[in-house]
Amino acid sequence: MAAAYRIEGVVCARYKLGESDRILHIYSDRGMVRAVAKGSRKPKSRFTGRLEPFCHVNALMATGKSLHIVSQVELLDAHDKLKHDLNSIAVGSAMLSLVERVSEHEADPGQMLPLLVAALRRLDSPATGSKKGHDPLVLLSAFELKVAAVLGHRPSFGHCVSCGEAQTSVKGSIRFDLEQAGMICGSCAKGVPMGNTVVDLSQASARVITNLTEKPLAQLDRLSLTDAQVREVRSALQMFLSFHLELNIKSYRFLARYLNFAGKRQQ
Ligand SMILES: [Zn+2]
């Protein structure tokens, strides 16, 4: 007899299988689960509306011979509102892709679930896209930094990684050492060539990155960022995340196009 188990999770992706089935990737409290939902593409399937990307679910699973099988699904939240906004879809898809991409690197599978659920919930609430209320790109940046922290890559700008000088006494611009996830002060930066592992960063953006890493998502609405700051932070994070997590994935290329559009719109 097949063993049954329960999971709580978020549907990250789904693919057609055969005539009427689907394969689902659900990021759950047990890590990423890949399972078949039989008959889920039939018009009157009991799974309709419950197993789409972004759905937060409780599911009863059965262990099959090669693939696990979804037997029952309780929908906790479909996060439908975010699907009406292209920016939110782009950012939400990037979150799901990131989780899918990095889930196998988790030492303790399932740790990112509370973060993913909280981030989708915020994305699903009305976004203003202005400096008041949450900005999807600020939310995504915070999400990425918190995911990186779960995986052991937490930026810290408190002291220069080379000489130990405190950030509070460093004047002028600094550099972000991606590999060591820390700051290189202006004096030490003179001997360090720029390249794939070191990028320029303003101190203001370093403080933003620290806030996004450390503050709960619910407190981020109070951060007020200029468009130029958002662009500088996004650029630094892309480099940081690519270095540690190899983020060359489809949703991020889509997001990059969206960002180009957003950048043009601001001019
Ligand atoms: Zn230094």
Axis-axis angle for helices 136-150, 113-124 (nearest 10): 180
Question: What separation in Å is there between the alpha carbon of 145 and the centre of ligand 1?
Answer: 24
- Tell me the whole-structure pTM to 2 decimals: 0.89
Question: What separation in Å is there between the alpha carbon of 230 and the centre of ligand 1?
Answer: 26
Question: What separation in Å is there between the alpha carbon of 180 and the centre of ligand 1?
Answer: 13
Nearest to 163 by CA among 198, 190, 127, 131: 190
Pair 55, 10: CB distance under 8 Å: yes
Question: What separation in Å is there between the alpha carbon of 139 and the centre of ligand 1?
Answer: 31
Mean per-residue pLDDT pooled into runs of 10, the chain (267 residues)? 88 95 97 95 92 97 90 96 88 92 92 97 71 73 94 94 90 91 91 79 93 92 84 90 76 62 47
Question: What separation in Å is there between the alpha carbon of 166 and the centre of ligand 1?
Answer: 9
pLDDT at 265 (0 to 100): 44
Question: What separation in Å is there between the alpha carbon of 241 and the centre of ligand 1?
Answer: 23
Locate the DSSP E strands across 149-232. Answer: 156-160, 174-177, 182-184, 198-201
d(CA 220, CA 214): 10
Beta-carbon contacts of residue 36 (< 8 Å; ≥ 6 apart) = 17, 21, 22, 23, 24, 64, 67, 68, 69, 70
Question: What separation in Å is there between the alpha carbon of 165 and the centre of ligand 1?
Answer: 6
Question: What separation in Å is there between the alpha carbon of 170 and the centre of ligand 1?
Answer: 9
pLDDT at 266 (0 to 100): 44
- The domains found in the chain, sorted by start residue, are 4-77 (2.40.50.140), 81-159+164-266 (1.20.1440.120)
Pair 32, 112: CB distance under 8 Å: no
pLDDT at 239 (0 to 100): 87
d(CA 258, CA 106): 29
